[in-house]
Structure 1
Amino acid sequence: MNKLNVLLVAVVMIFATGFANAQKIASVDINAIFTSMPEMKALDTQLQALQTSKQGELEKQGKSLQDLMAKYQKEAATQTPAINEQRSQEVQKLQDNLQQLYAAAQKDIAEKRDAGLAPIEKKINDAISKVSKAAGYEWTFDASSPALLYKAGADATPAVKKELGL
């Protein structure tokens, strides 16, 4: 019975090794493709402009708030406690509004980035699929992924760049 088990394990190992060697595997450096795409460069420019615009608005509002706070602190000694309390609440409300504007700006930038990345990612994935099918690759891994521990197979990055016209 032991000899039969050993023989069975040996046969399975031989077949498994044969099947593993028959697979065609390639890697693609998706980060390199992203950075070389004109669409990505245009998206980065748009996002930078949006961020600069939002930052300008926030700085303007922040400066206005700081000026108001300085004015209220300067006048605090000459005002009644009720007015000072009212002004304090007003300043707190303005600070809360500024924080909400900051959060909204971050959300707008993230949404714009996600909306801009979706067609770029689809274009890259379609090109990878087309190249992989044409070359007969059964598996194509992202070479820039930390999950890839060893790379000795074919590199499909140049073919994908060529498919994208880069």
Structure 2
Amino acid sequence: MKKLIVAGVMALGFLSASAQTKIGYVNTDEVIAAMPETQKANKELQEYQESLAKQYDDLEKEANDKSAQFIKDSATLNASMKEIKRDELIKLIQRVQGFNNEAQEKAKQAAQQKFAPIQQKAMDAIKSVAKKSGYSYVLDINSVLVGPPGDDILPLVKKELGIVDAPKAPVKPATPPAKQ
């Protein structure tokens, strides 16, 4: 009998604890996309990528020009000069390929550097809202397939970050067709 009472008290304890658990969810991608810092970072990243692309295009043009020149001059060059020019051309083409890989890596690193503080700021805001509003759990809606019902805290997080949504235009009701 004593075991039954202890089990009953424990079950009530679990039920009351779970009844007090407040669950919220948020779309972190939407939070980050709404932040003004994101637009600035995207613009800077795009400019950086365009700069790298320009450098790549210049290097590729140089390789194409030298290749065309080699083809044009190869009939008049002796064997040793052909060998030297061919080696120079091969090294230049390898440099172009290496630059392409390096540029992709640099762009990736630049994106990580620019977005890490933005992601951290968003996470800090989510944690702050959770603490202020008494949420025990906040789930990212993008990574939860099945879960308990919860509250969408996106508006609270946007408010915490000072993001004001643009007012939406009122939707006009469809007009019924004219009667004949």
Tell me how large the CA RMSD over aligned residues is: 2.5
- Per the normalisation by structure 1, the TM-score is 0.85
TM-score, length basis structure 2: 0.79
Name the SS of the counterpart of 2:149 in structure 1: coil
Distance 2:15 2:84 in 1: 79
The answer as to 2:49 corresponding to 1:77 is no
Quick one: structure 1 residues 151 and 48, their matched pair in 2 at CA, closer, same or farther if it must change by over 3 Å? farther
Q: 1:163 aligns with which of 160, 164, 170?
A: 160
Q: Which has the higher helix share?
A: 1
Counterparts of 1:70 and 1:157, CA distance in 2:
58
| Residue 177 of structure 2: aligned partner | none
Q: SS of the residue aligned with 1:27?
A: strand
| Displacement of 1:110 | 1.8
Give the Cα separation in 1 of the matches to 2:75 and 2:131.
78
| 2:149 is the alignment partner of 1:152 | yes
How far apart in 1 are the matches of 2:17 and 2:10?
11
Deviations 1:117-165 (A, max 9, x none): 12111211111111000111111011122x4424631111110000000
Change (3 A) 1:87 1:110: same
Pairing 1:8-157 to 2, within 5 Å after superposition: 16=14, 18-145=16-143, 147-150=144-147, 152-157=149-154
What is the rounded CA distance, in whole Å, between the counterparts of 1:86 and 1:19 in structure 2? Answer: 79
Q: Percent identity?
A: 30
The count of corresponding residues between Structure 1 and Structure 2 is 163
Report the CA distance shift for 1:163/1:83 in structure 2 as closer, same or farther (over 3 A): same
Unpaired runs of 5+ in structure 1? 1-6
How far did 1:22 drift?
A: 3.0
Unaligned runs of at least 5 residues, structure 2: 164-180
1:10-44 superposed Cα distances (whole Å, 9 cap, x missing partner): 98777655543431110011111111111000000
